[in-house]
Structure 1
């Protein structure tokens, strides 16, 4: 049984945490998971595109990883090692459902694009603002889900998790130039998808008909009555 306090584990570097985990230390396993949970969940969800299944993937991947942690030699960081296990588990599930995506069908996609910021945090505004932000996030999440898997994984690591090109390449076992190419394509596809969705949405922005129309109309009429510029309701102006 470990005599360390919970805060002691947070201060440990990954190498020490791994050594403790290899010795069966429960809290070391907990901290390793807490440090990687968000990124690994996003990676799993980026492949399976379903929240519940992504959680299943993560749990199964952790179980497999920790069962094999005695053989971890540290050639890469433990989070990189876990990322590969999570991706393999997620891809195996997708492979059982449907064929893998063929990248050749997207060879003609332009590579020049602007960065699309992903909203990581929401809240702090009015309920209306928060609701609008949630709708925007939903649009972006659906657009990310619709990306071909190889582009989607690069986008999640680079633009959502803000990993470096080198770290992304290491996690996905790609060349840095491949990461750059796929990121350009992912951004272009996302911008095209969001332009299409937002273009249709913009038609209904700032609606005036309905309750807002009635409220404003009645307020103006009431003001005109108070100012004597309009006869009260139910009366008629003199001929």
Structure 2
């Protein structure tokens, strides 16, 4: 498809990037404070990818290359703004996430459980935003976007060993920060330490 686009079939570019639109936007949103800035970063990343498509060497997956461009654009924009503003957002069920009932007879959500899930999501978002940037990036790529260790290393231009170390440290930091907070929400429930 890339060869066809480079040969002049530019209308195929949207088909090429369509599977990655959500990932690029979510990665941009994890760096930028609001939807508008995240959309600008994502749009600019797609434009830069298009302009530099001829330089894509297929040594990495296209998605990894695209995420790298997105990360660089977000960092560049934050530097230009003179501040590092970060808010990590995970897709919530209210915004189109997939929710399936545990049992067919259980169609109605229990309000207390819904409130508990919302509180947990907010606590997790806040905790992820407090991670130092090098750990937050790895955590988001591996545990939110579900990239492989190799893809994460390529996207961040670091070694596989560094990805593993940073991910472990990010998880440990989150565990240390989240465990007391999650226990305060529901002391009877057994929480998975860093989720």
2:138 pairs with 1:154: yes
2:150 pairs with 1:166: yes
Q: How does 1:109-128 map to 2 (within 5 A)?
A: 121-125=97-101, 126-127=108-109, 128=111
Larger Cα-atom Rg? 1
How many Å separate the matches in 2 of 1:168 and 1:49?
23
Instruction: Report if the CA contact (8 A) 1:122-1:134 is conserved.
Output: no
Q: How does 1:38-117 map to 2 (within 5 A)?
A: 38-98=22-82
How many residues were matched structurally? 171
2:185 pairs with 1:197: no
2:158 pairs with 1:182: no
TM-superposed deviation, 1:60:
1.0
Unpaired stretches in structure 1, ≥5 consecutive residues:
1-16, 101-117, 206-239
How many Å separate the matches in 1 of 2:13 and 2:118?
33
TM-superposed deviation, 1:149:
1.3
Output one character per residue of 1:93-118: Cα deviation in whole Å (capped at 9) or x when no partner: 12233467xxxxxxxxxxxxxxxxx9
TM (norm. structure 1) is 0.61
- Aligned residue for 1:140? 124
How many Å separate the matches in 2 of 1:47 and 1:150?
12
TM (norm. structure 2) is 0.73
How many Å separate the matches in 1 of 2:183 and 2:114?
21
How many Å separate the matches in 2 of 1:74 and 1:164?
17
Aligned-partner SS, 1:80: helix
Output one character per residue of 1:44-103: Cα deviation in whole Å (capped at 9) or x when no partner: 223335433222110111112212223333333222221111111000112233467xxx
Q: Do the aligned partners of residues 124 and 20 (structure 1) sit closer, same or farther apart at CA in structure 2, a change above 3 Å counting?
A: same
How many Å separate the matches in 2 of 1:75 and 1:92?
24
How many Å separate the matches in 1 of 2:116 and 2:11?
40
How many Å separate the matches in 2 of 1:159 and 1:68?
29
Unpaired stretches in structure 2, ≥5 consecutive residues:
85-90, 102-107, 190-195
How many Å separate the matches in 2 of 1:160 and 1:149?
15
Q: Do the aligned partners of residues 177 and 71 (structure 1) sit closer, same or farther apart at CA in structure 2, a change above 3 Å counting?
A: closer
